[in-house]
Structure 1
């Protein structure tokens, strides 16, 4: 329903009745995530129709979002493919690279690998902070740093979210192109998380100053979805680097983080709450689709690392909640958000608006098949590995 077949393109949004929403801009993150998901699914299932969707997404990403003058991906384009938001956000560059790496795994194209290599050099030259750890967040079309459009509540200089997805992209990049420069940057990103971003409590800090000190407004917030997603993405990065000491440290912290999420964010019915704020005195108990997807993988990773039955019990409980409350069994896909009791929100509640995605749309600039599609593929791979080890 999101594929504009006559134009070999994609719609920017699809409503709950599976109808394209006219006039909605296409975001870079939507197209990149479609590319990643369908390339991964084509590899897993060997299906030509999935590969064809990935081919289309690759063409759209390169023809409409890639800046031919200065390099890098624009943030959004109109339905006709004209630039709607020319911001160069590091988050978008990370997802573009992540998608290209998965696409290269699918087709082994020399053209794609060249683009991956050139993009890495460009992003390192333009987005890495020359004076402090980490990467700057947002830029003008010609790569001048911008204080606007950062992924932060108060336009703080650096965010956990951007660095998490850059680490995710660089781990994937290192697997397809094991260059020493990539290993160096991946290690630096991993150590930023281990040394700067993960709090003593086991939760992630959210927003930071230039030197990666957490800002005061950020300290009272816990984002449970990012916490549990990071538990397995950090392990994936450490596994790619194959440094046993670093891997052991990362796995230990991942379990500490997982236990922290289980203790304060995991509901007794298997759903994961959105976040806590005011230093834990208030909890937003709505359960967004992507958090539930990451909960599956996070607890499965914990079970694989420790063999503790309670993590497997949490996997089963999480899937039961998803199956009963989050999946739209009538029209397909997953509802954007359900309340604590598992009742879907079908309109956007005035008192609790989502900052990025709408409840009355099934596909939008931020909602796509990536989190839930990836979680299902990860679960297939991981359960198969556990079963194979028992034979």
Structure 2
């Protein structure tokens, strides 16, 4: 009996503790780097959503509040801009689908009711650009309409329809598309004019800005910004309404953006004449060129964003093996990395310029703008999934997230700064939100990135 007793003792005092140690180590094994990163980004998304909702819901005048100070106190004019309101509808609808939580659908419905009842022009059609609060009423502040603004209305309405199945919202999105077709679309040269009179007529023959039209200097031109967002909204609408004319316009925009607006270097031309001749101030004096920088420069944020939007549109159109769009999108991101990326701290600069015909792109605005960083995060991970053998994209994606976590996210008050702490150290005192700083860029980027890391994103599923 002694050998058995000895073996039992050995098992009790040595072997069992050893096995328990092995199993306990297995249970407490640290998560992989990708799991930790996924957890960080999921947590960051949740915190970002919580700082915006329900805080931004306007329970008095409807729709959403626009202005918040550095500590997220509602301060400011609280004007109701079409883009702001529509982006909130898109975001809340997207969150309703992402979380499977009806409270976000309710938020989107709140925004939809305001848009339908207060921003649509019953007399001329199309959505108003801007209204302001005067006492208990809303007054019209804008004298012109914008294809850009109306594109976001379509974007929000189409996405709200996905989650709500409210056909009145879809019908309003269709009505907006048809209004743009009648008033903004150029049947001769293709594409769309952004700036229109209140009745939707063009400003081509207007010589004096006697009615305080918005962006009057751009009245005769077409531009990349409204074009890429029309592409974006038509993609969303086509997914729920595969109309033949809508498909034709979506294809038209994709080809114009990819093959005409995007240069051979891989950057977007910001403004173009009606016949798509690029608008450039390169041959002007330095004073004139710098004064018109906003009209003519290299916008790295728009470039990386457009790479994603083109691939999204191509997928929605069902184009198989679209290597042309894929290679052009890759070229746009590669150009932004080569010319606009901060290799030391990470992040993309706001704007550069080619002063001559050389390959030197001078950084003329080194600001690290919040929406550019969000779009960069999205496109870097997207390319890392589409080109898994090119490790630079994965490495830069991780560095971009580190940049955001270090310089862009306000870990004390919540939300994102409008600019990075590295390029503007005093940004912590600046407002957190205004009519142009909403949450659709960064929430879309974080949702997309989480889906990519989980292998659930529609554009990268085939790469897994």
In the alignment, what sits opposite 2:125?
71
1:390 to partner: Cα distance: 9.1
CA distance in 1, matches of 2:456, 2:241: 28
Which stretch shows the higher mean deviation, 186-195 or 9-18?
Answer: 9-18
In the alignment, what sits opposite 2:310?
234
CA distance in 2, matches of 1:19, 1:322: 23
In the alignment, what sits opposite 2:407?
325
Is the 1:289–1:326 Cα contact (8 Å) retained in structure 2?
yes
In the alignment, what sits opposite 1:375?
445
In the alignment, what sits opposite 1:94?
151
In the alignment, what sits opposite 1:267?
342
Cα 1:214–1:150, aligned 2, differ >3 Å: closer, same or farther?
farther
3-state DSSP of counterpart to 1:178:
coil
* Structure 1 residues 58-94: Cα deviation after superposition (integer angstroms, max 9, x where no partner): 1111111111112111111112422111421000010
How much is the aligned-residue C-alpha RMSD, in angstroms? 2.2
In the alignment, what sits opposite 2:290?
none
**Does residue 336 of structure 2 align to residue 255 of structure 1?**
no
CA distance in 2, matches of 1:264, 1:32: 33
In the alignment, what sits opposite 1:357?
none
In the alignment, what sits opposite 1:183?
247
1:342 to partner: Cα distance: 6.6
* Structure 1 residues 92-140: Cα deviation after superposition (integer angstroms, max 9, x where no partner): 0100001101100110112112222222222111110132121111112
Show structure 2 runs of 5+ residues with no match. 1-54, 284-295, 356-360
In the alignment, what sits opposite 1:81?
138
CA distance in 1, matches of 2:175, 2:63: 25
In the alignment, what sits opposite 1:146?
203
* Structure 1 residues 27-83: Cα deviation after superposition (integer angstroms, max 9, x where no partner): 111000011001100111012221221111111111111111121111111124221
In the alignment, what sits opposite 2:418?
336
The counterpart of 1:305, out of the listed 386, 404, 429, is 386
Is the 2:88–2:439 Cα contact (8 Å) retained in structure 1?
yes
The structure with more radius of gyration: 2
Which stretch shows the higher mean deviation, 22-31 or 120-129?
Answer: 22-31
3-state DSSP of counterpart to 2:267:
coil
Is the 1:325–1:344 Cα contact (8 Å) retained in structure 2?
no
Cα 1:172–1:386, aligned 2, differ >3 Å: closer, same or farther?
closer
3-state DSSP of counterpart to 1:81:
strand
What are the equivalent positions in structure 2 for 1:1-391 lying under 5 Å apart?
1-79=55-133, 80-146=137-203, 149=213, 155=219, 157-217=221-281, 221-244=297-320, 247-268=322-343, 269-277=345-353, 279=355, 280-307=361-388, 308-338=390-420, 340-341=422-423, 343-346=425-428, 360-385=430-455
CA distance in 2, matches of 1:46, 1:35: 16
Number of equivalent positions: 378
CA distance in 2, matches of 1:326, 1:160: 26
Cα 1:238–1:296, aligned 2, differ >3 Å: closer, same or farther?
same
CA distance in 2, matches of 1:164, 1:126: 18
Is the 1:294–1:371 Cα contact (8 Å) retained in structure 2?
yes
3-state DSSP of counterpart to 1:283:
strand
3-state DSSP of counterpart to 1:93:
helix
CA distance in 1, matches of 2:152, 2:441: 13
Which stretch shows the higher mean deviation, 144-153 or 211-220?
Answer: 144-153
1:10 to partner: Cα distance: 2.3
Show structure 1 runs of 5+ residues with no match. 348-359
Is the 1:11–1:21 Cα contact (8 Å) retained in structure 2?
no
Is the 2:127–2:150 Cα contact (8 Å) retained in structure 1?
yes
Is the 1:152–1:207 Cα contact (8 Å) retained in structure 2?
no
Is the 1:296–1:318 Cα contact (8 Å) retained in structure 2?
yes
CA distance in 1, matches of 2:61, 2:126: 24
CA distance in 1, matches of 2:456, 2:97: 21
Task: Report the TM-score when normalising by structure 2.
Answer: 0.77
3-state DSSP of counterpart to 2:126:
coil
CA distance in 2, matches of 1:152, 1:255: 34
Task: Report the TM-score when normalising by structure 1.
Answer: 0.91
